[in-house]
């Protein structure tokens, strides 16, 4: 068996410091990856929700246009006071 060489306390401390920093870095990288994964999934959820809201908005605008056409056909053009429920025809 070859002769063993013992590290000095300073050398051993340096090795342990590097090992501990490596362990911490690997854990931090893993945590960062999990946070990125979570945020990416949340972003996908928000994107999907945005598309649904945009579709609802498009449908609402179409419903509004249809109602305006129906009211114009029935009452002519004018404005509506929603608070009082009064229609004011254009002159």
pLDDT 10s digits, 5-39: 999 999 999 999 999 999 999 999 999 999 999 99
Nearest 10 degrees: Cα torsion 55, 59, 61, 65: 160
Length of the chain measured in residues: 91
User: Does the pLDDT of residue 1 top 70, yes or no?
Assistant: no
Selection from 43, 67, 47, 44 nearest residue 55 by Cα: 47
Q: Share the mean pLDDT of the chain.
A: 95
**Which tokens is 32 given?**
């960062």
* Predicted TM-score of the model (pTM): 0.64
* Rounded CA separation 67/81 (Å): 15
Max intra-chain CA distance, the chain: 111
pLDDT 10s digits, 51-80: 999 999 999 999 999 999 999 999 999 998
**Which tokens is 12 given?**
């051993």
């Amino acid at each position: 068996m070859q002769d063993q060489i013992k590290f000095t306390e300073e050398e051993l401390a340096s090795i342990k410091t590097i090992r501990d920093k490596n362990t911490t870095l690997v854990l931090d990288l893993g945590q960062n990856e999990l946070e990125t994964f979570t945020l990416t999934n949340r972003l996908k959820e928000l994107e999907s929700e945005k598309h649904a809201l945009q579709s609802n908005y498009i449908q609402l605008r179409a419903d509004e246009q249809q109602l305006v056409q129906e009211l114009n056909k029935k009452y002519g053009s004018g404005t509506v006071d929603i608070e009082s429920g009064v229609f004011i025809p254009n002159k």
